[in-house]
Amino acid sequence: MRVLVTGGAGFIGANFVQQTVRERPDAEVTVLDALTYAGDRGSLASVAERVTLVEGSITDVALVDRLVGESDVVVHFAAESHNDNSLDDPSPFVQTNLVGTFTLLEAVRKHGTRFHHISTDEVYGDLELDDPAKFTPETPYNPSSPYSSTKAGSDLLVRAWVRSFGVAATISNCSNNYGPYQHVEKFIPRQITNLIDGLRPRLYGAGLNVRDWIHVEDHNAAVWTIIDKGRIGETYLIGADGERNNLEVVRTLLELFGREPDDFDHVADRPGHDLRYAIDATRLRDELGWAPRYTEFKDGLAATIDWYRANEAWWRPAKAATEAKYARTGQ
């Protein structure tokens, strides 16, 4: 099977490529990645001999047309993915998340290629902290930020291309991922690398915002399950019942580092910060038989800490610039 992975040098995409190479010896993997600040060739170093990395943008019509024409399935991870950056400058989010997805859809439409679109639970907006509800595939879209609104728009383009043009696509909306190769700008790696440096973790606001954490390998196993067995045109929600507020995450990290539970700093909250996300993954579990393997969050976090300790050369070059950027907004 010839697999084209967009954004395969980013966090989730690189883990997906590594997992695919490990578990699917028959897969021929090509990565299309623009290698923005978030993409790193080094994340694919261990599989370089089995993977073709093409540096380019998903908005490049001719390049996308050629690569899609040479593929059996396209797995679309490429995106501008960081909420804070989208508040600073939304324009690359519109280009990559909307125009890039449109460009891919036109190519898969022309070549009749199977397409899987990776999206986020953030398209649904947020839930109240005391609301027992979870997101389901029927929850109305209500995105809050330039990031989540451009992801919501890209999901709707995929749905329309299925309905109007018969494109063979599926969509998955996943909750917050953690694991190896995540950029140090993101919440968990930022705290882990601060702790490795002997600094205090930094918590947005009171830290009561709830995220539904899933290990990246469980996300990617679900993506392959959907590609193998999912119904065309369907949306699957991916989550592992991992709801925790940010304060609990910081306290667990402090415990794993042997530090005191209050050894952290509060910083200004993100504007429009969503309160709570929670995923109901019943369709994926019941229809397709997927289940997460990382069911103990603390064990998954400990393994992630081990990875960041062992791979300082991977994350160190981005650390100082990332902290300088946060310092400008007092975060």
Ligand X SMILES: NC(=O)c1ccc[n+]([C@@H]2O[C@H](COP(=O)([O-])OP(=O)(O)OC[C@H]3O[C@@H](n4cnc5c(N)ncnc54)[C@H](O)[C@@H]3O)[C@@H](O)[C@H]2O)c1
What residues line the site for ligand X (CB under 6 A)?
6-7, 9-13, 32-36, 38-39, 57-59, 77-81, 96, 100, 118-120, 151, 174, 176-177, 183
- Of 122, 218, 274, 323, the catalytic one is 122
Kindly state the smallest distance separating residue 131's Cβ from ligand X, in Å: 21
Judged by CB, which is closer to ligand X: 33, or 218?
33
Kindly state the smallest distance separating residue 89's Cβ from ligand X, in Å: 13
Kindly state the smallest distance separating residue 261's Cβ from ligand X, in Å: 25
Location of structure tokens 């397709």: 288
Kindly state the smallest distance separating residue 287's Cβ from ligand X, in Å: 20
Judged by CB, which is closer to ligand X: 77, or 124?
77
**Annotated catalytic residue 197:** no
Kindly state the smallest distance separating residue 83's Cβ from ligand X, in Å: 10
Judged by CB, which is closer to ligand X: 259, or 307?
307
Q: Helix/strand/coil (H, E, C) string of the chain?
A: CEEEEECCCCHHHHHHHHHHHHHCCCCEEEEEECCCCCCCHHHHHHHHHHEEEEECCCCCHHHHHHHHHCCCEEEECCCCCCHHHHHHCCHHHHHHHHHHHHHHHHHHHHHCCEEEEEEEHHHHCCECCCCCCCECCCCCCCCCCHHHHHHHHHHHHHHHHHHHHCCCEEEEEECCEECCCCCCCCHHHHHHHHHHCCCCCEEECCCCCEEECEEHHHHHHHHHHHHHHCCCCCEEEECCCCEEEHHHHHHHHHHHCCCCCCCCEEECCCCCCCCECCECCHHHHHHHCCCCCCCCHHHHHHHHHHHHHHCHHHHHHHHHHHHHHHHHCCC
Location of structure tokens 């990395």: 53
Judged by CB, which is closer to ligand X: 96, or 113?
96
**Annotated catalytic residue 178:** no
Judged by CB, which is closer to ligand X: 4, or 32?
32
Indicate the residue whose CB is closest to ligand X: 10
Cβ pair 17, 51 in contact under 8 A: yes
CA distance 54 to 50: 13
Judged by CB, which is closer to ligand X: 93, or 264?
93
Burial class (CB in 10 A: 0-12, 13-18, 19+), 298: exposed
- Of 147, 236, 277, 294, the catalytic one is 147
**Annotated catalytic residue 130:** no
Kindly state the smallest distance separating residue 35's Cβ from ligand X, in Å: 5
- Of 33, 40, 80, 121, the catalytic one is 121
Active site residues: 121-122, 147
